[in-house]
Structure 1
Amino acid sequence: MSDTALTAPVRSPFAGLVRGTTGPVIVVVATIIAVWYLAAVLLNTPFQRDMYKRGGQENVSLAQLVADTLAQERPVMPAPHQVAVEIWNTTVEKKITSKRSLVYHAQVTLSSTLLGFVFGTLLGILLAVGVIHSRVLDKSLMPWVIASQTIPILAIAPMIIVVLNAIGISGLLPKALISTYLSFFPVTVGMVKGLRSPERIELDLMKTYSASAVETLWKLRLPSAMPYLFASMKVGVAASLVGAIVGELPTGAVEGLGARLLTGSYYGQTVQIWSALIVAATLAALLVAVIGWAEKLVLKRMGMAR
């Protein structure tokens, strides 16, 4: 046997698993689920012990206690399997047109999310273009853009809804404007940084070619800002979804994921609340993934593949 074979390190299967991309994700998800189950048992135990006391049950085994805490109808914290069953029942088992279908409510929220995201992205790009071309806007507008995000969205959302309802605007647009309010900020900040990313020598070269400000913007600044734009859009679309859900809360809406959260809180249906939250998180992840796919496609076409 060669010396190389004798000295070669022995790699465990676990080490090979965590070296890739899938392995760490599996480990993190498994850890989250384990902690979730532990938290569900701990938080549901006081109520379960009270039920035992009222029913005159004594000397209940630990296994029975754990099983009962994970099977409560209205737990303080539902277990992962309870949430999974609820999501299955309200997606696969229900028709998409049903008011009890999470798919139906998700598409209602998604419509206002996408509309607000489009508005916010366009507004953010326009503000960024104005800021980099005008020192007055840079000094006067940017502080207000930053200050706008210090106002809690839960405080401003009812104001937007009430004002727009007073002038006869209701439905999708008010929720979309709340999404716009949250999504334009990361796009503005990202695009300002991106449009300013070209080197001084590159800008001087454009001047030697007698390029106008519009030509410099279109042929140099915008291409250089593409990676910044997509990065900020990933943040913006997630913020837009939050805005759409928050926009459904003060209106007492009967449709959308926000409505599911309201209904669950009214009737103490924590399983329903958690299922709506998980669906919202999944929807946000899908939207970010779509933007990531579009980023790879666009940057590849531009010769800037990452």
Structure 2
Amino acid sequence: MTTEAAVRPLSPFAGLMSGTIGPVLVVVLGLIAIWYVATVALNAPFQRDIYARAGQTDVPFSQMVADTLAQERPVLPSPHQVAIEIWDTTVNKKVTSNRSLIYHTGITLSSTLTGFVMGTLLGIGLAILVVHSRVLDKSLMPWVISSQTIPILAIAPMIIVVLNAIGISGLMPKAMISTYLSFFPVTVGMVKGLRSPELIHIDLMRTYSASEAETFWKLRLPYAVPYLFASMKVGIAASLVGAIVGELPTGAVAGLGARLLAGSYYGQTVQIWSALVLASVVAGSLVALIGLLEKATLAKMGMNR
């Protein structure tokens, strides 16, 4: 290979595909294409029924496809219908309006972040206890794992009823459900991280007569930081799911869960899908935010990855 060929710049397409944006864009476009195909396939039977009742027998295929993508209450709304609904309910509605998705997202986000903070602190605390106590490792850790075998849809109404019975309502019951889902990945990740230092390093700390506290702050915790952020990314997404699920059994009038309930009551599938898509965007944004915080923290610690 000549030197000229070796230094030849990449084409714009090759340069795009060599990074992160290009492959992600290809996957997104592929999913949208599949979504459109599924929309036509699922909405076609109802559209044919409409044609039959109207006495229309010779409808061109292109017309049928266009009609299936524009149904008012489709079985599966098309991507552009969902996009229009999101634009209308975020840009064209006042933030304080009950029809604004930004308003409902803010309600759900407050429960999500509250539960996530509580779950993260609980997970870190449990992990520290498990790592430093063999008794708790044998007795507590199995209960932590078995707690996640209970379906959240079964336990959510129980949590809400119990908390309401003692006068706790509003934000806290939903935050508790988010805590229940988010503490587990943090606990498991931190236990793994706190135990990740090599035995030779722990022995070295003992050689220097370091206390358990000094070993924790100077050795175990720095090793555990990458594990913590990885588990927090899982925990924040689980926390959002918990906040939405917590709004369902209460018949909430605000929040993304309330939008899902209202859409299911009135057969507004476009409203349901717009809430789901926005929830996924919020989850992705929260995970990305934690990723940025991870990079900044690791850089501060001299642990660039």
TM-score clears 0.5:
yes
Gaps of 5+ in 2: none
User: Which whole-Å deviations, capped at 9, do the CAs of 1:164-193 have from their partners, x for residues lacking one?
Assistant: 111111000000000000000000000000
Q: Secondary structure at the match of 2:45?
A: helix
In the TM superposition, 1:89-128 aligns within 5 A as 89-128=88-127
The 2-side partners of 1:274 and 1:49 are apart by 24
Shift of 1:209: 1.6
Aligned to 1:134: 133
Shift of 1:18: 2.4
With 52-61 and 14-23 compared, the bigger mean Cα shift is at 14-23
Aligned to 1:20: 19
Superposed CA RMSD: 1.9
Shift of 1:210: 1.3
- Code of the residue aligned with 1:121 in structure 2: it is T
Aligned pair in 2 of structure 1 residues 266, 4: CA closer, same or farther (>3 Å)?
Answer: same
User: Which whole-Å deviations, capped at 9, do the CAs of 1:80-125 have from their partners, x for residues lacking one?
Assistant: 0000000000000011111100000000000000000000000000
Aligned to 1:263: 262
The 1-side partners of 2:31 and 2:103 are apart by 28
Shift of 1:7: 12
Q: Secondary structure at the match of 1:77?
A: coil
Aligned to 1:159: 158
Q: Secondary structure at the match of 1:114?
A: helix
Aligned pair in 2 of structure 1 residues 4, 175: CA closer, same or farther (>3 Å)?
Answer: closer
The 2-side partners of 1:20 and 1:272 are apart by 35
Which 4+ residue blocks in structure 1 deviate beyond 3 angstroms? 2-9, 11-17
Aligned to 1:303: 302
Identical pairs, percent: 75
In the TM superposition, 1:1-306 aligns within 5 A as 15-306=14-305
With 12-21 and 99-108 compared, the bigger mean Cα shift is at 12-21
The 2-side partners of 1:133 and 1:186 are apart by 19
Q: Secondary structure at the match of 1:170?
A: coil
Aligned pair in 2 of structure 1 residues 8, 133: CA closer, same or farther (>3 Å)?
Answer: closer
The 1-side partners of 2:6 and 2:230 are apart by 46
Q: Secondary structure at the match of 1:194?
A: helix
Equivalenced residue count is: 305
- Code of the residue aligned with 2:170 in structure 1: it is G
Shift of 1:25: 1.2
TM-score (norm 1): 0.96
With 23-32 and 186-195 compared, the bigger mean Cα shift is at 23-32
- Code of the residue aligned with 2:183 in structure 1: it is F
The 2-side partners of 1:301 and 1:20 are apart by 25
The 1-side partners of 2:249 and 2:22 are apart by 42
User: Which whole-Å deviations, capped at 9, do the CAs of 1:46-70 have from their partners, x for residues lacking one?
Assistant: 0000000001111000010000000
Gaps of 5+ in 1: none
The 2-side partners of 1:196 and 1:244 are apart by 31
Q: Secondary structure at the match of 2:140?
A: helix
Q: Secondary structure at the match of 1:65?
A: helix
Aligned pair in 2 of structure 1 residues 186, 157: CA closer, same or farther (>3 Å)?
Answer: same
Q: Secondary structure at the match of 2:263?
A: helix
Shift of 1:215: 1.1
The 1-side partners of 2:40 and 2:245 are apart by 30
The 2-side partners of 1:5 and 1:210 are apart by 60
Q: Secondary structure at the match of 1:260?
A: helix
Aligned pair in 2 of structure 1 residues 66, 295: CA closer, same or farther (>3 Å)?
Answer: same
The 1-side partners of 2:2 and 2:98 are apart by 70
Shift of 1:4: 8.2
Shift of 1:5: 8.0
The 1-side partners of 2:264 and 2:158 are apart by 23
Aligned pair in 2 of structure 1 residues 139, 17: CA closer, same or farther (>3 Å)?
Answer: same
Shift of 1:20: 2.2
The 1-side partners of 2:6 and 2:44 are apart by 53
The 2-side partners of 1:36 and 1:218 are apart by 50
